[in-house]
Structure 1
Amino acid sequence: MDALDKIDVAIADRLQQDGRLSNARLAEQLALSEASCWRRHKRLEESGVIEGYQAILNRRKLGGGVLAFVQLTCTQHSEEVTAEFENIIQACSRVLSCHNTTGEADFLLQVVAKDLDDYSRFVEQVLRKLPGVSSIRSNISLREMKATNRLPISELLVT
């Protein structure tokens, strides 16, 4: 896809704020024809700029009282061990995100659990059994001050 213009950025930004925004309403807000707005919107999806849509759920209201940030250090980095590690993490619904990082730890995970007992069981039954993992360090969130998936599009595209 070519570079995004101001209209593409505006479409992406508005859909990021409200993924349920209708094409008619979006076109009206941006002073575009519905056909033009729809074509741009589809192009953003097809190019992968827009990957999908989802509802933002309140984890606490759904029983997810504990949010943990887990640093994993590995001693084995072979292709086989790494592939098995990645497959297990991908399949684990409690792991909200996993990043291969620089610094002391090799991976940083964000994990949700019902309570501390539930998290403790997850550590014993899943994390301690991960291949190649030599160290697990958990930080439990005491208070969430900010949580968002919204990207600062305009700031990222400044050249």
Structure 2
Amino acid sequence: MLKLIKDSVHAQDDNVDSFDLAIIKELSNNARSMNTEISERICLSPSATLRRHRKLEESNVIEGYHAKINYSLLGYHDVIMLEVKTSILAPQVAFEVRRIAETYGKITNFYRCVDEPGFVVFLAVASASDTAVQLHQHLPNLQFVNGLKLRLISPINSNDPCWESQRESET
């Protein structure tokens, strides 16, 4: 992931260097890290780290900070990826897809497809199987929906064998 960040950052600003990328990596891992902690980890003085951090914020390389929510503690035990293919791409279609999805769970991410009309919704739900049945009954009845695909997904953490194979392929 850092390689992708580096490529996209360099496309925007040639003044971004390895220390800036290290700051981005540290903040990606923990946005609440103290400046002194980051400076120790990247071997740069606290004042230089803070100056670079502020520059990254002012130049919108860092756009903001977000809370990471543990939805299972709120009763949402599954996450589904919902792909909705539509006949048109219009604000009212996006609003309707979002409105329906919100009735079945908590939307964690909502994307517009760029290669064809449609949306991808990540939805935290209490039960994937119950929600799948309900969504399959509700969404296809809308006139603008051409197709619907649901997938039960789970995050890959550092203990997952897939994580290790990904790390090995990056080196």
RMSD: 3.3
Q: Does 2:147 match 1:138?
A: no
Instruction: Kindly state the Cα deviation for residue 8 of structure 1 after the two structures are TM-superposed.
Output: 0.3
> Is 2:132–2:150's contact at 8 Å kept on the other side of the alignment?
no
In 2, are the aligned partners of 1:74 and 1:106 still within 8 Å (CA)?
A: yes
The structure-2 alpha-carbon separation of the partners of 1:43 and 1:75, relative to structure 1 and needing over 3 Å to count, comes to same
* 1:4-153 to 2 correspondences below 5 Å: 4-77=16-89, 82-88=90-96, 92=102, 94-97=106-109, 98-102=111-115, 106-115=118-127, 116-118=129-131, 120-121=133-134, 127=139, 132-141=144-153, 144=154, 146=156
> Which TM-score applies when normalising by structure 2?
0.64
Q: Which ranges in structure 1 are unaligned for 5 or more consecutive residues?
A: 149-155
What is the Cα deviation at residue 95 of structure 1?
2.5
SS at match of 1:21: coil
| Partner in structure 2 of residue 2 of structure 1 | 13
- 2:32 maps to amino acid: R
Could you list the runs of 5+ residues in structure 2 that have no partner in the other structure? Answer: 1-11, 159-169
Quickly say closer, same or farther: Cα 1:147–1:25, change in 2 above 3 A.
closer
Percent of paired sites with the same residue: 23
> Which of the pair has the greater relative contact order for Cα pairs under 8 Å at 6+ separation?
1
Paired residue type of 1:102: D
How much does 1:33 deviate?
2.7
Counterparts of 1:89 and 1:46 in 2: how far apart (Å)?
A: 35
Deviation at 1:146, TM superposition (A): 1.2
Q: Which deviates further from its counterpart, 50-59 or 113-122?
A: 113-122
TM-score (normalizing by structure 1): 0.68
User: Quick one: which amino acid aligns to residue 72 of structure 1?
Assistant: V
Secondary structure in 2 matching 1:56 = coil
Where is the helix percentage greater, Structure 1 or Structure 2?
2
Structure 1 counterpart of 2:87, which letter?
A: T
Q: How many residues align?
A: 142
Secondary structure of the residue aligned to 2:61 is coil
Q: Which amino acid aligns with 2:92?
A: E
